[in-house]
């Protein structure tokens, strides 16, 4: 009996970070057609390729284009790693948005959004974001919304399911969230400064 109690306790402890993510994002994950108006969409970075955004990143950006053109957001912030080693993610993201009809003067870039927590803190502090629609893949969305809320942003989220287009990447993404949930809860509790704090 004691063994089962210990095992149950261990399972609960292991699952608690992911349960926190689901609870913190509950009722805030929407489709483009039903998401409430927010002043800004924040698009989380992903891999950029030599010729443009990777397929998963392009799908995130397409969601942001729809949000903007539908009048559900007024601006778009792209956040990612803009160093050369990452093929200038935010430059690539901004160029893609402009090519799809979002005016350049409605796009802001955070070139030091190296982690999800960093993005949330930096858009809050550098751009004054207090209310936003977070845009990423569906597997990443509960963590993104939970961390944005922990950073003090009234966040809702729109996610790209991506399973039909990039099945392998999506399966890997869902698998990674178990470990990422632990780090996310730690960030929400300890509130570390982002790797880069300046503009």
Q: Is 102 a domain residue?
A: yes
Could you tell me the residue range of the domain that residue 98 belongs to?
2-190
- Look up the pTM and report it: 0.88
**pLDDT tens, position by position, 99-141:** 999 999 999 999 999 999 999 999 999 999 999 999 999 989 9
Q: What is the CATH number of the domain that holds 43?
A: 3.40.50
Q: Which residue has the tokens 């050369």?
A: 84
Q: Is 40 a domain residue?
A: yes
Q: Is 103 a domain residue?
A: yes
**pLDDT tens, position by position, 30-74:** 999 999 999 999 999 999 998 899 999 999 999 999 999 999 999
Residue 88 three-state SS: coil
Q: Give how many domains the chain has, as a whole number.
A: 1
Strand order in the sheet with 154-160: 29-30, 154-160, 131-137, 40-44, 75-79, 107-110
Q: Is 60 a domain residue?
A: yes
Q: Is 196 a domain residue?
A: no
Q: Is 197 a domain residue?
A: no
Q: Is 198 a domain residue?
A: no
């Amino acid at each position: 009996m004691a063994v089962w109690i210990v095992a149950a306790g261990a399972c609960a402890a292991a699952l608690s970070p992911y349960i926190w993510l689901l609870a913190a994002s509950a009722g805030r994950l929407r489709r483009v057609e039903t998401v409430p108006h927010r002043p800004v969409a924040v698009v989380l970075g992903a891999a950029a390729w030599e010729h443009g955004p990777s397929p998963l990143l392009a799908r995130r950006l397409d969601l942001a284009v729809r949000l903007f053109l539908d009048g559900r957001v007024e601006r778009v912030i792209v956040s990612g790693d803009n160093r050369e080693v990452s093929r200038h993610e935010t430059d690539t993201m901004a160029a893609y948005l402009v090519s799809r009809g979002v005016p350049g003067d409605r796009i802001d870039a955070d070139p030091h959004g190296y982690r999800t927590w960093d993005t949330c803190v930096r858009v809050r502090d550098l751009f004054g974001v207090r209310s936003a629609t977070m845009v990423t893949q569906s597997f990443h969305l509960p963590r993104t919304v939970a961390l944005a809320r922990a950073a003090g942003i009234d966040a809702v989220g729109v996610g790209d399911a991506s399973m039909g287009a990039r099945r392998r990447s999506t399966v890997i993404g869902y698998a990674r969230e178990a470990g990422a949930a632990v780090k996310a809860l730690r960030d929400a509790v300890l509130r570390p400064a982002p790797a880069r704090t300046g503009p």
